[in-house]
Amino acid sequence: MSFVRAEIAVLKNILILESTCDETAAAVVTMEREVLSSVVASQEHLHEKYGGVVPEIASRAHVERIVPVIDEALRRANLSLDDIDAVAVANTPGLAGSLLVGLAAAKALCLARGLPLVAVNHLQAHIYACRLAAGHEVFPCLGLIVSGGHTSLYRCTTPLEFELLGGTIDDAAGEAFDKVASLLGLPFPGGPSIEKAAQGGDPRAVSLPRPLLDSDRLEFSFSGLKTAVRYRICPPGTAATALTPRAVADLAASFQEAAVDCLVGKTLLALKRTQMRVLCVGGGVAANARLRQRLGDEARRLGIALHIPPLSLCTDNAVMGAIAVERLLAGLVEPLDLDVYPGLVRQTSR
Ligand code: KG4
Ligand code: ZN
């Protein structure tokens, strides 16, 4: 559905909703990309005891949180619903039940208020966080998305045009951090726990594989690395023994170094293949200090521009959904029968 330019000219404030996984988030952003408010309600404590996100629990928690989170975003922006000119919502990819809650809330607001509905692709939004943090254009760029559900490299010609260059053939990097943390008895979410434990460990203490790193395939693989950690903790055929704090720190540091080696190595390969001079990194794992440091070193060495958003824009948030501005400027709004696409990047990719 297209939106006529005369109508776009009068738009001012966009309410953005994000509920793709286990964060319920809302933000108010202007058409000039000024962030008026951002609210993120985390569900970490609900999923902690399971060592991972439980989809049914996540969607029920979104139902409880979505209205208070929207109210709080409006309150912090000092605005009421009367001041909102469009509603944007992430409808792909993510957990089906979680996506549905955000989409239903967005549709209800649009229907009640006669507002345009804008679809946000959560992966494109993770890269768009770099555009917001930079405060200037970053496209075309190579996009590296490292999150709990995705680990992929994209040629991002414009904010809305993404070409997949390669991704993980099994686990996502964040998933591997979460599972290894659980094996080491560290709290959920695993990424920050591994990073913290690794600070006291030796990254060379345990020899771990770097799957696919030596191949010229633009793909990642983390399940073998995860299994290698498992067998280091408890070799096949032996009984599990308690790990000393030193062993936990060394395993955490060695795992983190191996995962970062794989992420950096394939990113360098993609930069070489595409000859792109700008690298944008998004997703929860982009919060990892060791990954940020290693990418920073490589960017300086190669003389390329590196954009990694501040931590609050790396993990899931609604502000990055300001990519809706680009869709509105392109005249792209959605009908109210818009659906969710849990696994597929459809509908919102142009
Ligand atoms: O992008 P995100 O918030 O949600 C998804 O779309 O998946 O990413 C969540 C993932 C989790 O797997 C979490 O463990 C990981 O990001 N993560 C980290 C760090 N902070 C969050 N991984 C490594 N180091 C971190 N500091
Ligand atoms: Zn995400």
Domain CATH for 62: 3.30.420.40
User: Whose C-alpha lies nearest to ligand 1, atom 19?
Assistant: 191
Ligand approaching nearest to the C-alpha of 175? 1
One domain for residues 153 and 269: yes
Mean pLDDT of the chain: 94
One domain for residues 91 and 172: no
Site to substitute for ligand 1 among 44, 122, 285, most atoms within 8 A of C-beta: 285
In a domain, 277, yes or no: yes
HEC secondary structure over the chain: CECCHHHHHCCCEEEEEECCCCEEEEEEEECCCCEEEEEEEECHHHHHHHCCCCHHHHHHHHHHHHHHHHHHHHHHCCCCHHHCCEEEEEEECCCHHHHHHHHHHHHHHHHHHCCCEEEEEHHHHHHHHHHHHHCCCCCCEEEEEECCCCEEEEEEEECCEEEEEEEECCCCHHHHHHHHHHHCCCCCCHHHHHHHHHCCCCCCCCCCCCCCCCCCCCCECCHHHHHHHHHHHCCCCCCCCCCCHHHHHHHHHHHHHHHHHHHHHHHHHHHHHHCCCEEEEECHHHHCHHHHHHHHHHHHHHCCEEECCCHHHHCCCCHHHHHHHHHHHCCECECCCCCCCCCCCCCCCC
State the residue range of the domain holding 197.
Answer: 137-311
Q: What is the pLDDT of residue 347?
A: 38
One domain for residues 164 and 113: no
CA of 112 to the centre of ligand 2 (A): 29
Using one digit for the tens of pLDDT, what is the confidence trace for 9-41? 789 999 999 999 989 999 999 999 999 999 999
pTM recorded for the entire structure: 0.93
Q: Is 192 a pocket residue for ligand 1 (Cβ < 6 Å)?
A: yes
One domain for residues 307 and 319: no
pLDDT at 345 over 70: no
One domain for residues 76 and 187: no
Residues with CB under 5 A from ligand 2 (ion): 147, 316
Q: Is 178 a pocket residue for ligand 1 (Cβ < 6 Å)?
A: yes
